[in-house]
Chain A
Amino acid sequence: MNWGVFVSSFLAATIEVIEMVAIVVAVGVTRSWRASLTGAGGALVVLAVLIVVFGTALQGVPLKPIRLVVGALLLAFGSQWLRKGIFRVARDGWALGIGEEEVEEGVASGFDWPGFVLSFKGVSLEGVEVAVIVVAFGAAAGAIGSATAGAAASVIVVGAAGLTSYRVVARVPRRGLQLFVGAMLTTFGTFWASEGLSVHWPGDELALVWLGALYAAAALGLVRLVSGWRRQEEALLGGASR
């Protein structure tokens, strides 16, 4: 075992795996676990086939166009959720709890295809990046086995942390959850789409943290703003009816 390659691969893969697990847990808690896990499983199968077929040639995969497409799709969907989440919290408050209301009114009783697509895209994009990390570190040091073990350890550790955290996430009132998951999907979408266009982010991957904080803060500000518009309008209507 080449421990230097193992640790490097583990740390580099962890950044990507955290993003992957965050999307799977968010989609599972807010939409459908069945769709989210099926999407993640489908993406892992596609990845396994890609790795078997292409092997070390994966190093040459152009990541920028993939980031742009996946990022733009996540951004379009995430911004819709963010907007709906803000509006519902402003209209009805944060108080509604687990099981009292479906988060997404459009989730059909059958299989949740949007949830499947979100999870599939998140896992396949991040999975390709992990595969590229493994191939890059492994091929450079002639230690593909150690690099693969490092990435696999990262998936196990972060996956277990994700499974533990979902119980905490599931305690958040559902309207608030939709707002914050919308902010999170919008954050990933903004970051990836911009990276696909060769934008350099201040702080590199750390930009995900401040961008997420920025969208969450903007969402909370917009909740107050929309509540204010509604109160103003009610006061005007009340005055007109007297």
Chain B
Amino acid sequence: MNFSFHGGRVSGLLCVLPAREQSFLEDMKHFDFPESRSRKLMEVMGYDKHRLVESGACVSDLAVCGLQYLFDRGLLGRDDFDALILVTQSPDHFMPPTSNIIQGRLNLKQDLLCLDLNQGCAGFVIGLIEAFLLLQQESVRKVVLINADVLSRKTSPQDRNSYPLVGDAAAITVVERGQADVEIHASVKMDGTRNETLMIPAGGFRMPCTPETAALEDVGDHNLRAKDHLRMDGSAVFNFVQVEVPPLIESLLAEAGVAKDSVDYFLCHQPNRFMLQKLADKMKVPHAKIPMNVVEHFGNSSGVTIPVVTAFNLGARLTQEQFQVCFAGFGVGLTWSAMLMNLGPLPFCQMIQYPGGEQL
């Protein structure tokens, strides 16, 4: 389905990456697999390093670190936003909403709509849609969108289909009113019949965590995983992306009346380099227009990868220039989404480390 918005814009982007970095060569030690095949996996998928939180670190820790950084530097006023949207699949607790926890930890005002959204790899576009919808209210002048996940904590180190690519991160995107004559187009599709393609089977009410769900099982290819862990059907995800994403982007561009060539960058979710290369080929877009270097530097942090790919590749330029960008997120749900907008110049577009807030 299609959305269009008038008069909204992104006015700042901050990514928060864990300071802890782990290399694929370290990951390999946990795999029961010939080393030559692991090296092949590394080469084909583009694995190198990924950023993982220390055990115990939660989504609200990353988010509070980022917001405090912005408050301290005068990049965001603590009373200047009227809604706080958190998109995550790894909340601190089932209840209360983690957005309320963030509000409380920072002593934010009570006239603030706090909203948790359960979305994954498409969660940046979904969050932006929600933010633009809220901005249509008179009382909402500015929205803070937080995308954050610490899914490494739910990934088996002995599952080489998931662990080498996973990363943790948070991103804070400030969304506010802009010129009324500027239109933003978005398109979203969902298919719940394929909801098991990416899932954490245990830990909810359907299958509560027990000693049995914590037991590691050989799930083929000598990969060990428990029902408490994230499970990803890599082949099904690959087919899904190749089949569904290019037509979604084509139809969005047609709807907006924008030629593919006039899009400066396609800022896509970052599953791994392999899938993005194949996606670029399928879309017939030059690889230079689809940055695909996030997994090798930071890992795949679900809904945070679009902010990370943006800040990492275009951060400095976006503080000076404007680009026409197409965001595209795809994954859990299944959900696939794309949004076309003019991005920049932004007052800030940067990356910091957690803990400490040191600039990256």
Asked if A and B bind, the verdict is: no
